[in-house]
Structure 1
Amino acid sequence: MDFALTDEQRSIVEVTRAFVERELYPHEEEVERTGHVRPELVAQIRAKALAAGLYAANMPESVGGAGLDAVTLALFEKELGKASYALHYTGVVRPSNILMACEGSQREDYLLPAVRGERTDCLAMTEPGAGSDMRGIRTRATRDGGDWVIKGTKHFISHADEADFVILLARSGPDRNDFSTFLVDLDAPGLAVHDGYRNVSHRGYTNSILDFDDVRVPESALLGPEGKGLELSGEWLGSTRLSVAATCLGRAERALALSTAHAATREQFGQKIGKFQGVGFKLADMALELRAAELLTLQVAWLLDQGRATDADIAMAKLKATEMLAMVADEAIQVHGGMGLMDELPLERIWRDARIERIWDGTSEIQRHIISRSLLRPLGG
């Protein structure tokens, strides 16, 4: 089994790493201090990402994206993941790949402008009463003549405050599995965007509350087949969960590098602290867990490229990487002592940011449910 990167993969990793260090790291302190990313800074990073060929890397070449395979995309996401989430997700945009379901005029109105960086999307599934259980969604789309009328509330909608349109999952029929997906412009009459909640994780990466008060959209707003919204969303969730795993690898690698350098230079009791087993063994465990999570994530990406990845495979990668990051971030602070909790270092941010990874895009409990179900079902359990 050959684990070596191709020349192309090495080049993408090097270019992305240089971009992150040059264009993103310098702005992290400002984002943490102010809690937002200035619009002019977003525009600046996007322009440079477009020029560097890093924009829409997750989208196929057939629509103007970079067309990265899953393994290369995971390596790309890992490098971006080292930086502030707000900076790399609002600046180096990866449009929701659910947009590949666009047909006809939708391609010119939504898909292609998103790939070119002219428009940005946000995805609205979560509601106050429906998180992991999407069948609990109450937002409803009802036919009215040749239109659909949408009523309901979504929350925890990432970066909706600066998006141009929303990809909406709504109940569209009487059956409990009857959901459809819609493309709705954020300036549509009846759609209100409210500030969301203050979040301890990922400062500057905003969430919003969306209220749909009888928002009327044409039949052409329907994305994909009517009644197949859950299936369409399920395809999207697989790729985003793997992306979460990959970005966690990047932050853990940054935390480990800082901890190793500190342990090799900090002196206490007449010797470098890395020579004490209490510190050295922490570094060993951090490196071990990071390596295991990275190999699992890349293996699942490889399976995805082969068309063989299952929901359980993706769940394993997301679960392992997110829980590994929590452990590495916590131990990194312990290695640094009091300074680890000061904002002069990125460790306290990485520690705070790590907490949300075990919740969004499916909690750790949901991932364990998916994995255990895949083990028991073949045996009738």
Structure 2
Amino acid sequence: MDFNLSKEHLELQAKAKEFTETVLFPHEMECEENDGISRETHQKIIDATLAWGFNAPNHSKEDGGQGFSIFEQTILNEQLGKATGAIWDALWYPSYPMRFATQAQKEEYLIPTCQGKRRDAYAITEADAGSDPTQCMTRADKVEGGWKINGEKWFVTIGDIADYILVHAHVDGDSTKPTVFFVEKNLPGVELKRTPLYTHHFAFKHPEYIFNDVIVGEDKVLGEIGQGYDMTKDWFVEARLGIAARCVGGAIRAAEEANKFAAERIQFGQPINNFQAIEFMLADMGVEIMAAKSMLYRLSWEIDQTGDRKLNHAKAAALKLYCSEMVGRVCDKAVQILGGRGYMREQAVERLWRDTRVDRIWEGTSEIQRVIISGQIKKRGLDIYTGW
């Protein structure tokens, strides 16, 4: 078995690293100090993303994207994850389910989104529906010529800059008919409820939206009636892989910052990395990253080889669980090694420590990942996770 990266993959890795460090890193403190980036900065990153050929990596070239494989997306996301403030989200990944769009929908939504001319947001979570989307109260009722949507959505990430929203709703209020609708933000009845503040200083916002008798046409259904949850699970697989890759990247940067500091910080006449308390923390960080990266690369490669949606969903849960919890441990140690400096917001390790806390929550909490994993063990046996 040859686990070496190909020449092309090494070139992509180097290119993604250079993009992250030269295009994204310079805006980290702007994001931190202003709780977001300006329109001018965002446009600069959009222009750079197009110039570097990193727009819509997850969609086909025919639809205006780059047609990256899952493994290639992992290589890119790992480097992007080193940037604080989630500035990586300025590089757009149009929602995975849009590949099931009709040609007319692709021309109206997907293709211009891949080209950076439009931006989508995905709305699933509600006040009483998070880990269990069957509890969604947002509903779509048939009316003459289309559908009437009513409900409220929380945590609509990048909802502030998106110009349309993919809304997960239940047709006729029936949880067995989950369906995704294209909803333009400027339609009558689409109301911004509020924009909460969060622990991290994210490049963009996570607003809450109300949909009050919003009318959309027949042509605004994505996929089929009742197909919404399956498409949402596909979106979760891609999102969880992206989170896992960015967690590995964030952990690597935190470990590198801590290692550099420990080699240069002199106390009691010697560098602190000479003290066992510090060198053991660095050793543990290195091993955790090695294990997570091995799992990430192996699984990303495997998913490229199989179309088994249920198996991919099961393994992505394990990956997201491990990597999101790993980065928390690594960043915590990095903050500890830097001591008082590690608690200063000007330090990348402090921002990563704060930024990555959400990775154990969004796109499925650690507890939900464990529910998925344990359920798969009951159905398929331990071999699904141990029989590689």
Which TM-score bucket, shorter chain as reference? over 0.9
Q: Distance in 1 between matches of 2:79 and 2:173?
A: 45
TM-score calculated relative to the size of structure 2: 0.95
Q: Is the CA contact 1:42–1:87 (under 8 Å) kept in the aligned structure 2?
A: no
- Per-residue deviation at 1:247? 0.5
**For 2:68, what is the secondary structure of its paired residue?**
coil
Q: Which residue of 1 aligns with 2:384?
A: none
1:261–1:127 distance in 2 versus 1, CA, 3 Å: same
Please list, as runs of the form range in 1=range in 2, the aligned pairs for 1:135-174 lying within 5 A after superposition. 135-173=134-172
Q: Which residue of 2 aligns with 1:51?
A: 51
TM-score calculated relative to the size of structure 1: 0.97
Instruction: String of CA shifts for 1:62-117, please: whole Å, max 9, x gaps.
Output: 32211111111101000011002442102x11111211111031111001001111
Q: Is the CA contact 1:202–1:353 (under 8 Å) kept in the aligned structure 2?
A: yes
**For 1:119, what is the secondary structure of its paired residue?**
coil
Q: Is the CA contact 1:155–1:196 (under 8 Å) kept in the aligned structure 2?
A: no
Please list, as runs of the form range in 1=range in 2, the aligned pairs for 1:1-381 lying within 5 A after superposition. 1-90=1-90, 92-173=91-172, 175-307=174-306, 309-378=311-380
Q: Is the CA contact 1:255–1:347 (under 8 Å) kept in the aligned structure 2?
A: yes
- Per-residue deviation at 1:173? 3.4
Q: Which residue of 1 aligns with 2:385?
A: none
Q: Distance in 1 between matches of 2:173 and 2:103?
A: 28
Q: Distance in 2 between matches of 1:288 and 1:329?
A: 14
Q: Which residue of 1 aligns with 2:386?
A: none
1:202–1:312 distance in 2 versus 1, CA, 3 Å: farther
Q: Is the CA contact 1:161–1:193 (under 8 Å) kept in the aligned structure 2?
A: no
1:85–1:13 distance in 2 versus 1, CA, 3 Å: farther
- Per-residue deviation at 1:202? 4.2
Q: Distance in 1 between matches of 2:184 and 2:362?
A: 25
Structure 1: give runs of 5+ residues left out of the alignment. Answer: none
- Per-residue deviation at 1:334? 0.7
Q: Is the CA contact 1:160–1:193 (under 8 Å) kept in the aligned structure 2?
A: no
Q: Distance in 2 between matches of 1:378 and 1:281?
A: 38
**For 1:217, what is the secondary structure of its paired residue?**
strand
Q: Distance in 2 between matches of 1:113 and 1:61?
A: 12
Instruction: String of CA shifts for 1:251-302, please: whole Å, max 9, x gaps.
Output: 1000000111111111111111111110000000000001111111111111
Identity of aligned residues (%): 37
Q: Distance in 2 between matches of 1:298 and 1:202?
A: 29
Counterpart residue type for residue 66 of structure 2? A
Q: Distance in 2 between matches of 1:83 and 1:194?
A: 30
Instruction: String of CA shifts for 1:18-76, please: whole Å, max 9, x gaps.
Output: 11111111110111001021011111110111011011111122322111111111010
Q: Distance in 2 between matches of 1:173 and 1:203?
A: 36
Q: Distance in 2 between matches of 1:366 and 1:315?
A: 8
Q: Is the CA contact 2:157–2:207 (under 8 Å) kept in the aligned structure 1?
A: yes
Q: What's the Cα RMSD here?
A: 1.4
Q: Distance in 2 between matches of 1:316 and 1:149?
A: 38
